[in-house]
Structure 1
Amino acid sequence: MSVLLLQLAGPLQAWGSSSRFARRTTEPAPTKSGVIGLLAAALGRERSHDPGDLAALRFGVRVDQRGTPIRDYQTAHHFETGRSMPVSERFYLADAVFVAALEGPDDLIDTLHDAVRHPVFLPYLGRRSCPPSRPLDLGVRHGGIEQVFKQEVWRASRWYQRRRRREPFVRLETIIEATAGDGRVDTLRDQPISFDPIHRRYALRGVRHGHVEIPNPAASQPPDHDPIAVLEGA
């Protein structure tokens, strides 16, 4: 088994699992349906294509930089008739960084890795208005998701890491798909069954919340500026 690692970072992200009508919410971390949709688009699949092979992959997320929830109030008019469209509320995560992992057979993971590096359709982070600000590709690892999350370096922004430079290690939240041997788990309705716009369908999926501790690369580093440099030039 192999694990495909993806870096999900951007000014805005939106990962809905229960959005309805004019109120479009977001989960605090990427959903499995959203990331599977991203990979299906990278492969060039149509929305009517059966996502069963991708949905069978085990999925996990590590929260490297928790985003700030923001609300956008939107109005619009129909271009041809000028008639007002329904007012909508859309929620986003600003300045968030996640590491997403998909675990599965080597051949399928390698195919997805190639698609991420050479996507047919451009990727976006939950909604088309949310392009990534960094390359998605973090490569392929061997082992389970839990092990990979413990070994992967902290992907938060440099300014965010420097805020915690007094901490040699950081504790990051993980949300990993539950297995049969797990005890009590939470559930999310983000297991994709169909992306067909006529009848989108999602099933419940068990997830297990946990944490990993990894080194902080900014720990004990001096600040980027010299506070007395101005005085020396006087």
Structure 2
Amino acid sequence: MTAPATEPATPADAEPAGEDHPVLLLRLAGPLQSWGVRSAFNRRDTGAEPTKSGVIGLLAASVGMSREEPLGDLLGLRLGIRVDQPGTLLRDYHTVSDYRGRPLPQAGVTAKGTQKPTSPVKHTHVTARYYLQDAVFIAAISGPRGLLLTLETALRAPAFPLALGRRSCPPTQPLCLGIRSTDMESALRTEPWQPSAHARKQYAARLGRERRLGRPAHPPTIDRSATLEDPNGHDVLQDAPVSFDPHLRTFTSRRVRHTWLSIPSGYHNADSDAHNGPADDADHDPFALLGW
């Protein structure tokens, strides 16, 4: 990987970042997701939320771009992520060995360019890969309407198979929720909660127990955390892609801000009385928002 660029790369003909753009909403859900933020030798981690490089990679695959192609207009897109279901961390244990029974090579090479054998001799190498299981995220992609329309069409009939961070992590449907004619934060604030049916029932049952109702509680709204790309944000993430070329993979930084959004819960039988109202009232345990 090359050294990261110091400034975000933006096409010369991109529209000013400050202008209002419509938003394309994606539901990123599947049995497994893995959004790499760093990998070193025998360990491949996953971030707690989708990365911008992972989402842009998914969009590039949908329109049929090869890894060597310049990302062009995709560089100017802005990203917001809402955590609807954080999921749980899964550690996948791997071992690597040579089927011929030969010692494994090491990273170092000889003067002739061949890999040196391990010393002392090593026949098995242990690696670990980390995934998020049963997680659901809403991704809001802000950009010019014409580009978003092209991406929406491609996502519904992608040129290449799509994945949630790694090829082994296909998304479930629905993936594309459509275009919203509003800003990023408003789109994430008004889109109904999108958890699995099981998680929805679990939340209602737990909330009912916490409030000692003797039945599940169905609040009309629920609080969810969100990370919004914002040039005035106080946090910096090093996950904005510049190039996916395997020989020149380059990333740059972007500023984000973290917030909580009160969103429609989507319960069809939402309680209307004050005691069983919004999930953020005084008797609500905030750790329940994390699925604990």
TM-score, shorter chain, exceeding 0.5:
yes
2:253 matched to 1:214?
no
Q: Does the aligned pair in 2 maintain the 1:65–1:97 contact within 8 Å?
A: yes
Matches within 5 A, 1:142-221: 142-165=181-204, 166=217, 168=219, 169-179=221-231, 182=232, 184-218=233-267
- C-alpha distance after superposition, 1:116-157 (max 9, x if no partner): 011000101000111112231101111111010111011001
SS of 2:65 mapped into structure 1: coil
Q: Does the aligned pair in 2 maintain the 1:18–1:25 contact within 8 Å?
A: yes
- C-alpha distance after superposition, 1:60-82 (max 9, x if no partner): 10000011011111113356786
Q: Which residue of 2 aligns with 1:33?
A: 53
Q: Does the aligned pair in 2 maintain the 1:162–1:219 contact within 8 Å?
A: no
Q: Which residue of 2 aligns with 1:98?
A: 137
SS of 1:62 mapped into structure 2: strand
1:117 to 156, 159, 162: 156
Q: Which residue of 2 aligns with 1:5?
A: 25
Q: What CA distance in whole angstroms lies between the structure 2 residues aligned with 1:20 and 1:43?
A: 30
Q: What CA distance in whole angstroms lies between the structure 2 residues aligned with 1:47 and 1:97?
A: 27
Q: What CA distance in whole angstroms lies between the structure 1 residues aligned with 2:48 and 2:41?
A: 20
Q: Does the aligned pair in 1 maintain the 2:163–2:170 contact within 8 Å?
A: yes
Give the aligned residue type for 2:144.
P
SS of 1:35 mapped into structure 2: helix
1:87 to 123, 126, 132: 126
Structure 1 runs of 4+ aligned residues shifted over 6 Å read: none
Q: How many Å apart are 1:216 and its aligned residue? A: 2.1
2:82 matched to 1:62?
yes
Count of residues in Structure 1 that have an aligned counterpart in Structure 2: 219
Q: What CA distance in whole angstroms lies between the structure 2 residues aligned with 1:109 and 1:85?
A: 47
Q: How many Å apart are 1:94 and its aligned residue? A: 0.6
2:34 to 14, 23, 26: 14
Matches within 5 A, 1:219-230: none
TM-score after normalising by structure 2: 0.71
Give the aligned residue type for 1:123.
L
Q: How many Å apart are 1:56 and its aligned residue? A: 1.1
Q: How many Å apart are 1:85 and its aligned residue? A: 6.8
Q: What CA distance in whole angstroms lies between the structure 1 residues aligned with 2:99 and 2:158?
A: 31
1:77 to 74, 93, 97: 97
Q: Does the aligned pair in 1 maintain the 2:241–2:252 contact within 8 Å?
A: yes
SS of 2:169 mapped into structure 1: coil
Identify unmatched segments of 5+ residues in structure 2.
1-20, 105-122, 205-216, 272-292
Q: What CA distance in whole angstroms lies between the structure 1 residues aligned with 2:155 and 2:100?
A: 38
Q: Which residue of 2 aligns with 1:135?
A: 174
Q: What CA distance in whole angstroms lies between the structure 2 residues aligned with 1:103 and 1:86?
A: 43
**What's the % identity of the aligned pairs?**
46
Q: Does the aligned pair in 1 maintain the 2:27–2:138 contact within 8 Å?
A: yes
SS of 1:40 mapped into structure 2: helix
SS of 2:241 mapped into structure 1: strand
Q: Tell which structure's C-alpha radius of gyration is larger.
A: 2
TM-score after normalising by structure 1: 0.87
The Cα RMSD (Å) is: 1.9
Q: Does the aligned pair in 1 maintain the 2:228–2:256 contact within 8 Å?
A: yes
Q: Which residue of 2 aligns with 1:51?
A: 71
Give the aligned residue type for 1:176.
L
